[in-house]
Amino acid sequence: MQERCTLDARKKILQWGGSEDEAEQAIHRMMKEDFMSEERYIQGYVRAHVEYKKWGPYRVVAGLRSKGISMSQAQIAVDAVSREVVLDTLNDLVQRRASELPDRRDRVIRFLINKGYNLQDILASLAALGSR
């Protein structure tokens, strides 16, 4: 079963015709019985979006914020991902786009920024690729 955040669960209950009170009661009960957990949701979200979608830290935080997760919780979850994993993922994306680099460097940089990576890290990764 897929983990859900409280915002998604509330929307789904309201979509099914439930009231706000019913949604709150259902969410409270699911959390009390450990059927639903914000922590598990956050961990799964971060893992999936870093490993599979190759998102950078900034985009992951923005995605969590859009799901109603507090900035502090989102930042803690992203900080738990090792810097090495983030840089390895960035380097992998840069290598995949290497064929576009000579002519479309700006486009590659824009793509990586939209993926949620830091400009300094992007430029360092591009420089490392150029020195090989």
Q: Give the tens place of pLDDT for each residue, 34-82.
A: 899 999 999 999 999 999 999 999 999 999 999 999 999 999 999 999 9
User: How high is the pLDDT of residue 98?
Assistant: 82
Whether the per-residue pLDDT at 124 is higher than 70: the answer is yes
SS3 string, the chain, reads CCCCCHHHHHHHHHHCCCCHHHHHHHHHHHHHCCCCCHHHHHHHHHHHHHHCCCCCHHHHHHHHHHCCCCHHHHHHHHHCCCHHHHHHHHHHHHHHCHHHHHHHHHHHHHHHHHCCCCHHHHHHHHHHHHCC
State the CB neighbour count (10 A cutoff) for residue 44: 13
Q: Which domain holds residue 7?
A: 1-36
94 or 103, which is more confident? Answer: 94
Q: Residue 102 — very low, low, confident or very high, per pLDDT cuts 50/70/90?
A: confident
> Do 43 and 60 share a domain, yes or no?
yes
| Mean pLDDT, range 97-116, rounded to an integer | 89
User: How high is the pLDDT of residue 131?
Assistant: 55
> Do 89 and 117 share a domain, yes or no?
yes
User: How high is the pLDDT of residue 75?
Assistant: 95
> Do 32 and 43 share a domain, yes or no?
no
Whether the per-residue pLDDT at 132 is higher than 70: the answer is no
> Do 69 and 100 share a domain, yes or no?
no
Q: Give the tens place of pLDDT for each residue, 1-32.
A: 688 899 999 999 999 998 999 999 999 999 99
> Do 126 and 88 share a domain, yes or no?
yes
User: How high is the pLDDT of residue 129?
Assistant: 84
- How many domains does the chain divide into? 3
> Do 95 and 114 share a domain, yes or no?
yes
Residue with structure tokens 């830290």?
57
Residue 81 is given by DSSP the state: S
27 or 100, which is more confident? Answer: 27
> Do 42 and 32 share a domain, yes or no?
no
